[in-house]
Structure 1
Amino acid sequence: MTHPLKVAVIYHLWPHYREAVMRAMDRGDRVQYHFHGSGEPFAGIVHADPGSVRHFVRAPFTCHGRITWQPAAIAAVRNGGYDAVIFLADPHFASTWIAAALARWMRIPVLFWGHGWLRRESAVKARVRGLYFRLAHGFLTYSERGRRLGAEAGFPPERIRVVYNSLDLERADRVIAGIESGTLASLRPQGLFADPGRPLVICTARLTRQCRFDLLVDAAALLARRGLPVNVLLVGDGPAREGLEARARCLGVAVHFFGACYDEDITGQFIYHADLTVSPGKIGLTAMHSLMYGTPAITHDHFDRQMPEVEAIEEGLTGAFFPHGDTAGLAAAMERWLRSAPARPVVRAAARRTIRAKWSPDVQARIIEDAVLEVTGNA
């Protein structure tokens, strides 16, 4: 291979939290990635900075109900001169069906990147998903469970690579270094509460009904009745906030609603100093955010209703699980952890070791590059 491979990576938008993996991919010298996306915020999601990578191609999209249409994806395949194309693996993208089929007809290798298989599905859904995924020569999924489910669904397991998921680990490392050296202006979240001596439970996420923060408020009330009152810090905003505020007032639970915050110097310190992250609904990238600062995470154990990142949590060492939808079970899991968890330095080291081993931008970039080299015959 005398020159870098030219590869399109086509998403409808690149959320701000994807910027770190974009930069990691962009640093490689064997593959020249061209990141296609709208470049604009959407549905409350801040877009990554298009200037953070060398090659960003604006590719607008429109939504028609649940169907997304992105004509620039088809144009990229037809006119871009790419050696391979990576698509977001979402069957609701009508344009990707066409673009991926066109790429195969043009003998351009296709990779899909996404959740892939989260749960076993009905025969009809599984059939549609299977037809769509078979447009790809290879699949980049987020989890080992996704790979197993994909193999069960009939997708050739040798064509599935687990690329995990990540947030900006380098930025987290700088925040931690600043905290531990004292060079970062101290911002202890305990000071937000009337009784700062209580254990601090945190979650950084949008406040939506699906996140089930009502369970967390109810579990905190149960713990208070058992003699273990906690402070709860919710960093995020969303449509469920008003109802949660009323519920916390009614139950007398100390909940601080900080609101949305995209300043990692602030959120990083909050997570680092918290005793525990609790995400009662699906956990997703909140697991990455918590563990990379060395804070354990608790979430539910119904993996068909979870996100792939739940695999990063190791029961009893970097977090715990509770029965899905069970307030008493959540309270019990929190109490067990707060009363008898491993020493915090042990937990912090284990959590950060887990992130560095698999769930980092550099690991993702390496695995994606290996997949590109293999599918183009350059491995």
Structure 2
Amino acid sequence: MIQFRNLRGSRVKGTQAVVSDGKVTTNMGSRERVAVVYSHFPHYREAIFNELNKSEKYSYTFFVGSKNRYDLKSGTRTGGIVLVSQMVIGPFTIQIGLMRKLLAGKFSHIIFLGNPYILTNWPYALLARWTGYKVYFWTHGWLNAEGKLRQVLRNLYYRIPHGLMLYGVRAKSIGAGFGFKERNLHVIYNSLNYESQKTARIRIEREDNDGSHLSDYIVCVARLTRELKIHQAIEALNVVYRNTGKSIVLQLIGDGLLRDELEDLARKLNVNVVFNGAIYDEQRIADIVYHARAMVSPGKVGLTAMHGLAYGIPIITHGNFDNQMPEVEAIEPGITGDFFKEDDVESLAAVLTKWMETPRTRKERLRAIATIEDRYTPRSQVLMIECALASGDR
């Protein structure tokens, strides 16, 4: 039987918890300990986890599920990673034995991935809060107007923790509209491995003296899934050719179940699409993305927006924010990207034509990069996460 104790305020000395065979042992010391609970360890979270590990204020341990229900590359097993046994049943995840591991670690704060489909988060977060831990959910938050039942369940779930760490300002505004206290809604944005992208970008800039060289292609970095609507980009390029006689190449970085279908569509419409497959080498990605005229994401745009802006290229996506991800907030129309009418191929074709015909200056590229450096890097994200954690200590 697990004995629950109020362990708030426990501290640890040293840079990291000791992890062995899925167990957590600690040294006593001066820094408060924070547990971060994820259902999986996607590779794009590796940079922010590593940055959190550098913190001088908190000591972090990351509990990640042993099974990845998503078709994603996993991050490298570095210090502070503890595997948690879990079952995946359809859209639902159940983590087994997590609470015992959390109690053994003597944490003061616990950050859960705020996904209500991780069923064990409900009782674990409630138990943690009732027994004195400071509890937070790391989540994209509210995206749109959901059905009544889903809305009620989501709001009930989001009221469990002391605070929410949200990806965007719009989610905070929606939450405040539902009666959540703004002081408990913390915008932490999102991030990729910006230092790796910056290194790759500087290399290219040294080879391309003024940084202005552009090729006649657009790029899309995404898994080839139906919800991303990549077929609309192919159809739009066909419209551009019929309207202007200009043939634009689409460079696709990513793979997925729709590849064969998209290849057939490209052949049928006589659109030049380069299927590069999944690429994880940032130097190779940079060589393609940096020289593109724009990055297109006909469906939802998420972290791919951060990827394109880090290289200074504009992001083109649809403008229905109810069907978008929080990262869409990084787009300033006409400056760091543009919007087209959702599911309107003619509208997308018009926007693509505009950006292909618009010279891209060095100043505009730097403005896109500045958007990332201001809010969307692991370093800035850590600062905002730790401000959220410190707010619970007041």
TM-score normalised by the chain length of structure 2: 0.88
- The CA deviation at 1:198 is 6.3
**2-side partners of 1:198 and 1:161: how far apart?**
40
Which residue in 1 is equivalent to 2:120?
Answer: 95
Which residue in 2 is equivalent to 1:193?
Answer: none
- The CA deviation at 1:75 is 2.1
**1-side partners of 2:119 and 2:65: how far apart?**
16
**2-side partners of 1:166 and 1:130: how far apart?**
25
Equivalent residue letter for 1:62: M
- The CA deviation at 1:314 is 0.8
Q: Is the 8 A contact 2:237 2:349 kept in 1?
A: yes
Q: Is the 8 A contact 1:40 1:46 kept in 2?
A: no
- The CA deviation at 1:61 is 1.6
Answering whether residue 38 of structure 2 is matched by residue 38 of structure 1, we say no
Equivalent residue letter for 2:101: A
Q: Is the 8 A contact 1:73 1:96 kept in 2?
A: no
Which residue in 2 is equivalent to 1:244?
Answer: 262
Answering whether residue 345 of structure 2 is matched by residue 327 of structure 1, we say yes
Q: Is the 8 A contact 2:215 2:292 kept in 1?
A: no
Q: Is the 8 A contact 1:198 1:230 kept in 2?
A: no
SS in 2 for 1:93: coil
Alignment of 1:242-321 (within 5 A): 242-321=260-339
Q: Is the 8 A contact 2:33 2:109 kept in 1?
A: yes
**1-side partners of 2:118 and 2:100: how far apart?**
15
**1-side partners of 2:99 and 2:122: how far apart?**
9
- The CA deviation at 1:42 is 4.4
Answering whether residue 87 of structure 2 is matched by residue 62 of structure 1, we say yes
Equivalent residue letter for 1:90: N
SS in 1 for 2:273: strand
Q: Is the 8 A contact 2:67 2:88 kept in 1?
A: no
**2-side partners of 1:76 and 1:153: how far apart?**
34
- The CA deviation at 1:122 is 2.3
Which of 339, 351, 366 is residue 349 of structure 1 equivalent to? 366
Deviates more, 1:171-180 or 1:314-323: 171-180
- CA offsets per residue over residues 34-85 of structure 1, 9 Å max, x none? 011036654321111121xx31111122112222101233223433311010
- CA offsets per residue over residues 187-244 of structure 1, 9 Å max, x none? xxx9xxxxxx961110011111111111111110111122222011111111111111
Which of 221, 225, 245 is residue 227 of structure 1 equivalent to? 245
Which residue in 2 is equivalent to 1:205?
Answer: 222
Equivalent residue letter for 1:149: I
Answering whether residue 111 of structure 2 is matched by residue 86 of structure 1, we say yes
**2-side partners of 1:39 and 1:268: how far apart?**
31
- CA offsets per residue over residues 116-151 of structure 1, 9 Å max, x none? 111122222111111111111010000000101111
Q: Is the 8 A contact 2:186 2:388 kept in 1?
A: yes
**2-side partners of 1:73 and 1:10: how far apart?**
9
Q: Is the 8 A contact 2:224 2:230 kept in 1?
A: yes
Equivalent residue letter for 2:160: L
**1-side partners of 2:260 and 2:118: how far apart?**
34
Deviates more, 1:367-376 or 1:174-183: 174-183
Alignment of 1:159-238 (within 5 A): 159-182=184-207, 199-225=216-242, 226-238=244-256
Alignment length (residue pairs): 362
SS in 2 for 1:273: coil
SS in 2 for 1:329: helix
**1-side partners of 2:77 and 2:174: how far apart?**
34
Q: Is the 8 A contact 1:68 1:94 kept in 2?
A: yes
Answering whether residue 39 of structure 2 is matched by residue 22 of structure 1, we say no
Answering whether residue 176 of structure 2 is matched by residue 151 of structure 1, we say yes
Equivalent residue letter for 1:247: L
Query: Which structure is higher in helix share?
Result: 1
Equivalent residue letter for 2:132: R
**2-side partners of 1:60 and 1:346: how far apart?**
49
Q: Is the 8 A contact 2:69 2:88 kept in 1?
A: no
TM-score normalised by the chain length of structure 1: 0.92
Identity of aligned residues (%): 37
Answering whether residue 76 of structure 2 is matched by residue 49 of structure 1, we say yes
Answering whether residue 158 of structure 2 is matched by residue 141 of structure 1, we say no
Which residue in 2 is equivalent to 1:75?
Answer: 100
**2-side partners of 1:39 and 1:270: how far apart?**
33
SS in 2 for 1:57: strand
SS in 2 for 1:121: coil
- CA offsets per residue over residues 91-120 of structure 1, 9 Å max, x none? 111111111111111111101001111112
Q: Is the 8 A contact 2:293 2:355 kept in 1?
A: no
Following TM superposition, where does structure 1 have runs of at least 4 consecutive aligned residues deviating by more than 6 angstroms?
none
Equivalent residue letter for 1:222: V
- CA offsets per residue over residues 164-200 of structure 1, 9 Å max, x none? 00111100111012212249xxxxxx9xxxxxx9611
- The CA deviation at 1:374 is 1.9
Which residue in 2 is equivalent to 1:187?
Answer: none
Equivalent residue letter for 2:112: F
Equivalent residue letter for 1:234: L
- CA offsets per residue over residues 232-285 of structure 1, 9 Å max, x none? 111111111111111111111111111111111101121101111111011101
Provide structure 1 residue ranges, at least 5 long, that are not aligned to the other structure: 184-189, 191-196
